[in-house]
Structure formats: structure tokens, C-alpha cells
Amino acid sequence: MFTRKETSTPLSHTRELYFKHMSTEIEVKILEIDPLSLIAKIESFGGKCLGDWLIYTTIYDFPDRKLLSKGGYVRIRNEGPVWHCTYKSKITQDSAKKMLELDMQVNDPEIADQILKALGLQEVLFFEKRRRHYVSGPIIFDIDQLPGIPPFLEIEAPSQEEVEAGMEILKIDRKKALSIGPKELLAHYGIDIDKIRELRFPNPGKKAPLDPIQF
């Protein structure tokens, strides 16, 4: 499940620069995008690509699903070769999704997995995601794709105003912005995470932690 590559990188570049002191995640999703068109727009105003990643995410909750029922969860995932364990709890979900986010880097995702299970959590869902990761000032633009789901864009920033500025730069109608998490995203396409255990791309055996995004 976990594909680990040794690294001396202390933190992912983006979070070290912009989110090191943040405890609130503010983001929106734009569904069914044209990735190549958006990439051209982001790069035209100086957005810097910091990585093309194949991300492995495992979502955890207690057997009674008390975290997910309130819009929260625990996850272990990689950002390139760097692994993180993160707790998320919903603050609000109006014009943008705002989550309390407690995040730490882990050197060994297998040990982190064992710790969570020893505390009574269990795996809810494992999924792969392709991501092209851009930053422009304090704004993050992630172009993502999950197996069997059209590509989508995540815009994340330290404030609601900066998230809206990111949409304005890309000329995205605010009505298209959705404040949803992974459970709601999958449900939008008819995928119930209570009825599946994993989502993988159809490339068995390809487990490199750094994998160019392909649209």
C-alpha cells in the first residue's frame, strides 16, 4: 500500500513556504476541467510547477465513522517522496471548505499506519491520485485526477479572499466552485466509500512515488 522513498527533504516545498504556521485549510474544487487549458493559464501568469505526483492516500476513521460523519478524517499520504499524517476536521463548508488541519511529516508510513490502528482507527479507503502542483504567491493550484473521475482543480490559499483571487485570475465563475471533501466528491460521481475499499489507476505494478501526470 505504501511506496516509500528515502529522502532528506524536511517538508514539502509548498507547505514549508506557505502553510508552515497554518492550522486552517481553505479551498474550493472546480470539477470537470480542461487540464491543458488551465495549465497554460496558470503558467502564463507565472505559476510555478513544483511537482507531478502520483499520490497514495489512505483514509482512516473509527469503526462507528464518527469522524467522517462530522466531515473529518485522518489520512496518511505522500507529496512526492515525502509522507504526511494529517488530521482534518470541518470548520465550515459554505463558499469555501474550511478545515482544521493538523499535519506532521512521517518518515515511515507503515509505522504511522500501525500507530493509528493501535489507537482504534481502521482503514476506510485507499486511493491513488495524479496531481500537478502549482503555486503563485500564497495561492496553490492543484490539477488532480482520480481513477474513473474527470480531472478537477483545487484552489487553496490562506484566506477566502485569496481563494477568490485565484478563481478570478483563471476567469472561473464562482458558481462553479464547490466546497466539498473527498467523500462528497466521490459521491458526486456515484461512488460510495462505504461500499468500496480502494480506487487505483489501471497500471498494476507501477508504484513509483513520482509519476508524471497524464491527461
pLDDT tens-place string over residues 176-210: 999 998 889 999 999 998 899 999 998 754 544 43
- For the chain, give every domain's residue range: 21-199
User: 5-34 burial, b for 16+ CB within 10 Å, e for fewer?
Assistant: eeeeeebbbbbeebbeeeeebbbbbbbebe
CA–CA gap between residue 95 and residue 115 (Å, rounded): 35
pTM of this structure: 0.83
Mean of pLDDT values over 137-159: 95
17 phi/psi in degrees, rounded to 5: -75, -45
- What sign results for the dihedral spanned by CA atoms 28, 126, 148, 80? positive
Nearest to 156 by CA among 132, 130, 172, 134: 134
> Could you tell me the CA-to-CA distances from 45 to 137, 163, 170 in Å, in that order?
11, 16, 9
Per-residue pLDDT tens for 36-57?
999 999 999 999 999 999 999 9
Pick the CATH number of 21-199 from 2.40.320.10, 3.40.50.1100, 3.50.30.30, 3.30.479.30: 2.40.320.10
Contact present, 74 and 85 (Cβ < 8 Å)? yes
Residue/partner pairs of 164-168 with CB below 8 Å, 24 or more apart: 165/139, 166/136, 166/139, 166/141, 167/28, 167/30
